[in-house]
Structures are given as C-alpha cells and as structure tokens.
Amino acid sequence: MSDQIVIAELREFVAREFLHGKDDGLDAATPLIELGIIDSVAIVVLSDFVLRRFGVTIPNAELKPSNLATLQTIASMVNRLRQA
Amino acid sequence: MTLGDLVARAATRRPAALAVRGPDGDLSYGELDAHANRLARALMSAGVRPGDRVAIWLPKSCEAVVAMQAALRIGAAYVPVDSLSPAPRARSIMHDCAVRAVVSRPDLGRAILDGGDGRIALLGIDGLAREPLASVSADPLPAVAVQPSDLAYVLYTSGSTGRPKGVCISHSNALAFVNWAVDAVSATEADRFSNHAPFHFDLSVLDLYAAFSVGAAVCLVPEGAAYAAEQLVRFVREERITVWYSVPSAIVLMMDRGGLLSSPPDALRALLFAGEVFPMKDLRRLRDAWPTLAMWNLYGPTETNVCTAHSVGRIEAAQTSIPIGRATCGNRVWAKTDLGAVARPGESGELMVQGPTVFAGYWGQPPRGDDAYGTGDFVRVGEQGEFQFLGRRDAMVKIRGHRIELGEIEAALGHHPSVREAAAVVVGEGLSARLVAFLGTGSHAAPALLDIKRLCAERLPRYMIPDDAVSMAELPRNRNGKVDRSALVAVAAPRAASA
C-alpha cells in the first residue's frame, strides 16, 4: 500500500477522531504532537485504528515521537511494519 | 545532604545495584554516579557555575536522569522541559529563568537555540557511551559547596496572566518531602519504584529520589506507553513494581482496560495517587479487589509538593469521598476562613501551608522566606481534623492532574487577529476531559482549528492546547456582564460527548 493511501486514511481518521472534522490545514507534514493533536491518550486510540485498519501492531519501541510526529512519518512506519 | 548526595551515597554502598531502568537501558548506581560526573564536567566546561540553571530537554530516559544529577553536582538547578513541546515554548521557559545551558539531543537542541542570542550553551548528547561524554573523566568532582537552601530544580506551571511561572524548589524542600515519602511507604533497597509522571511534573520527585534515598531501583514508563492500559499493567507485572505513584486517571485506565484487577500483580505493595480526585466508584472497586494493598491519597500543589496525605483504609458503603488527609513532611497546614481565622472541625476555608516543603519562590519574584502559602483550594475540616477537598473558586482547573489556568489559555487565544475575546472551558473529567476554546470573533471569519492549535502550541504547554475551538460573533453573558461560562459548558458538552 503506498504511503499516499495510508496518509489519506490516517488523515481522515485524525480529522474525525481528534479534530471534530475541522481539518483545514491538516496535511502530511502537520506536527501532530507539538500541536497537541496526538497526546499520550490519543496514541492508544491511534494504535487501535492502525491495527484494525491495516492489521499492524505497533510495538512499544516504535511509539516514539520520531514515528508519530506527522501523518507522513506514521504512514512510513505503518508500511515498514507491514513489510516486516 | 543534597539530592545529588543521595546518588553518591548509594553508589558508595551498592555500586552494582540497579538505579534506573529506562527505554535507553539500565544504569547501576555506580554507572549513574560516573556518568553524572562526566556530564557535570562537560557542563562546567560549557560555562555552567553554581547557582546557574540548566534546562533539560530530553525524552524520559536514563540520560535525562544523568543530566539532572549532573546539574545538581555542580550546584546548579535543573529545569525539566517537556521534550515534546514546540521550540518557542521551550525557549520562553529557558529565557524566563535565564538558563546557562541546555542538555538535549544535538538536533533538537539546535532547533530550540536557532535564532537565539548565543548565550545559552548546548550540550547535545546522544548516548551516554558516545562522544562528547565518552572521553570525559568520570572521577568525582572537586567538592562544590551546596547549601540546603540552594535551588535544586525549577518546575514551570500554569500562571493566570499568560507568562510562564517557575516554581523554585530548594534541596531542603525536596528532601523534606523525600524523607517523609520514604518513611510513609517504609521504602527499602529491595523496592522497585515506577516512574509514570513526566520529569516536569513533581510526582516524579518521589519516584526518583525516594528510590535513590534507599538505594532502590526506579523503572521509567516510556512516554508512548503512559496511557496504554495493557502495556502499563504488563510493565507493573514484569518489572515487579512494588510502589506505583501516578494520577488516578492512569490507575483507572489500568483497571478498566488493562486487566489490573483480574489478577493483582503480587509484587505491588503500595499504590499512591495525586493530582486529581479518584472517582469513588473506581476506588471502591479497587479496594474490594485488593483489600490489603496500602493506598495513599496525596495532595499538594507544585508549590508545596505533597502537604497532606490520607491512607485509604476500608471504604464505608455511604462514603462519597476520601479526605486529602493531614499535614505531612513537618508542614503546618490549616484552613483559613473568610474572616481570616483558623477553621475548626465542621468549618471550611482556604488551605494554607507553611513549613519545610513550601517553595522558595517563583523565578523572578522576591524570595518568599517563611511566608504561609495559600493554595487557592477550599477544604472542610473533619471531626478529627482531617481535610476534605471541596474545590476551587478561581479559574484554575485540572486535567489528568495537570494544572491549567484558563486565563493563560485565553491570553494566548487573544493573540489571534480575529479573536476579540476568548473563554476556555473544560468539559468532562478524567480520561474524557476536553478543553474547548470559545472565540468571540465579531465580524471576522472563524479561525481554523489548526491555526488556533498552532498559536497555542507556541505559548502554552501541550496539555493546555484546546481540543476544539468554537467561534461566535459574541460570547454569551450573564446578568453581571461576565462571560457566562456555564452556558458555554452546556454548548460544549454534547459536542464533546459525540466525539
């Protein structure tokens, strides 16, 4: 699955779940943690979604800022884990 | 005795014993001691002197603990900054207390100092075994005379006016608390403390320094797992944690979604909580499942660390709340009535604290001396003199233990060109608490939510960034002409519930 497709799915999920649908300005590079869109509680909700939608379990060691910072980095991580 | 001496003492007695387990590995007391000396030397070379402040902008890790110890050893105070906050926020804290140096990852550190005036030295570290630390001597430093009244750390907390507020804590403040905590839980070197709270939150002071005081181990909960229920429960079981301390939200999460009660971890012997009210129905469930577990409700603002405590015994059927308890740490604690008198049993008033754990002062303001501190919390005095929390009268609220001055958020929101007036409200509690910003924008177009978040992220801690923003021409007002906050909460509630 290309990064673009994963990003699109993640974007729709993040917009719905964390932004109340108010996604103006949300793109692949928006800093999700810095802007408080993803906090320590949201990480768990996001992991659930990734498992349900992409069949990928995110191991604890991967739940770090460098992987969760943007839709792009999350998508890259998801695709990397899918291939493993 | 200083906070740095606790580790040095344990390193002499038990150099091979585990001191810290973190996402970046394990450190024995001997290793923690040696790395602290190395980093302390590096800080001195970078110009840090006794009395200076050193910012620590690192993820939760053994490295961060080393950095705190290093600052203490040269008589400097450390300033832990949330490593996930954006650079402008980190910068405003560092400038507020004029830090001399920041310990961070090389790339992160450069980002915060970018465009700075070059007066703050960056110590970029990426691994304790690597340069620049690897070639620095680990020998003990020449003794630095640190007085108990010297500052150990500065914790930044929410202030009502929009400017960051640095709470300055001395070695003697911290030790008065640590010594009480060690005694209260009868800590020994066989204990294994968890550390759930971030280092910029004062719950972490118990985790680290109670462990160091007795030569026990402290196991750091990785940042990503802080609210991952199953992982937390697995952590408690596998690390054989004996003393757990956190906000109630994390404990309730472990109960509801992590299977904590299905088979209570047998090593756990004490559960401590602070920062928010523990919902009674959940506390009752916990006590029923675990009749003999020692449980403590600890209370105190950052300015006093823990000033009262209550050991939770049996919970009676008709009980609707648990007390915040009685004075701790040698503090004098009383409730001041509206008329300024000391409240007697049955009366209520503002909780006042005076004594060894009361902070030295806010950074940039005159030292407080021995003045009593008014917490702004209202309490009732029970029959036996124990305190019962009633609530606050001002616009300070708490979300999952984090203190939030709504005025500080409103001041930040006011910086947006379309916003004439703003009001922030909290909807919900515990894990479902949400911050909603209401914006009076007149005839201007409604700002996008992400723009509002970006604006706030530059000025506020992450946990104070609104979850939602609702724009309207004018904010509703009550008969006194003040913004009608309960009307706003009513508007926000159904929206939050459907999210």
For residue A22, list chain B residues with Cβ-Cβ distance below 8 A.
Answer: 448-450, 468-469
For residue B463, list chain A residues with Cβ-Cβ distance below 8 A.
Answer: 36, 39
Measure B384 CA to nearest chain A CA, in Å: 39
Q: What φ, ψ does residue B212 adopt, rounded to 5°?
A: -65, -35
Q: Are B229 and B257 in contact (CB under 8 A)?
A: yes
CA–CA gap between residue B266 and residue B124 (Å, rounded): 41
Q: Which residue of B has its CA nearest to A65?
A: B84
User: How far are the Cα atoms of A11, B70, B174 from residue B152, in angstroms, in the given order?
Assistant: 44, 11, 8
A66 touches chain B (CB under 8 A): no
Distance spanning both ends of chain A, measured CA to CA = 14
Q: Hey, which bits of B87-186 come out as E strands? A: 101-104, 121-124, 151-157, 165-170
For residue A40, list chain B residues with Cβ-Cβ distance below 8 A.
Answer: 223-224, 226-227
Q: Are A22 and B456 an interchain contact pair (Cβ–Cβ within 8 Å)?
A: no
A76 touches chain B (CB under 8 A): no
Residues 40-59 (A) with a CB less than 8 A from some CB of B: 40-41, 43-44, 47
Q: Which residue of B has its CA nearest to A18?
A: B467
For residue B59, list chain A residues with Cβ-Cβ distance below 8 A.
Answer: 64-65
Q: Are B228 and A43 an interchain contact pair (Cβ–Cβ within 8 Å)?
A: yes
Q: Are A70 and A31 in contact (CB under 8 A)?
A: yes
CA–CA gap between residue B346 and residue B83 (Å, rounded): 45
Task: Count residue pairs from A and B with Cβ separation < 8 A.
Answer: 79
Nearest to B165 by CA among B228, B225, B79: B79
Contacts of B9 (CB under 8 A, 6+ apart): none
Q: Hey, which bits of B328-442 come out as E strands? A: 332-336, 348-354, 361-362, 373-381, 387-392, 396-399, 402-405, 421-427, 434-440
**Tens digit of each residue's pLDDT, chain B (499 residues):** 899 999 999 999 999 999 999 999 999 999 999 999 999 999 999 999 999 999 999 999 999 999 999 999 999 999 999 988 888 888 889 999 999 999 998 888 887 787 666 789 989 888 888 888 888 999 988 888 899 999 999 999 877 677 789 999 999 999 999 999 999 999 999 999 999 999 999 999 999 999 999 999 999 998 888 889 999 999 999 999 999 999 999 999 999 999 999 988 899 999 999 998 899 999 999 999 999 999 999 999 999 999 999 999 999 988 889 999 999 999 999 999 989 999 999 999 999 999 999 999 999 999 999 999 999 999 999 999 999 998 887 778 888 888 888 888 998 999 999 999 999 999 988 888 899 999 999 999 999 999 999 999 998 989 999 999 999 999 998 877 788 988 998 888 765 554 4
User: How far are the Cα atoms of A34, A70, B123, B158, B169 from residue B463, in angstroms, in the given order?
Assistant: 10, 18, 27, 11, 23
The closest CB to that of B227, out of A24, A41, A60, belongs to: A41
Q: Are B220 and B20 in contact (CB under 8 A)?
A: yes
Q: Are A34 and B85 an interchain contact pair (Cβ–Cβ within 8 Å)?
A: yes
Quick one: B74 exposed, middle or buried, by C-beta within 10 A (0-12, 13-18, 19+)?
buried
* Predicted TM-score of the model (pTM): 0.85
Tokens of B346: 């049955």
Contacts of B301 (CB under 8 A, 6+ apart): B375, B376, B377, B403
Q: What φ, ψ does residue B328 adopt, rounded to 5°?
A: -125, 170
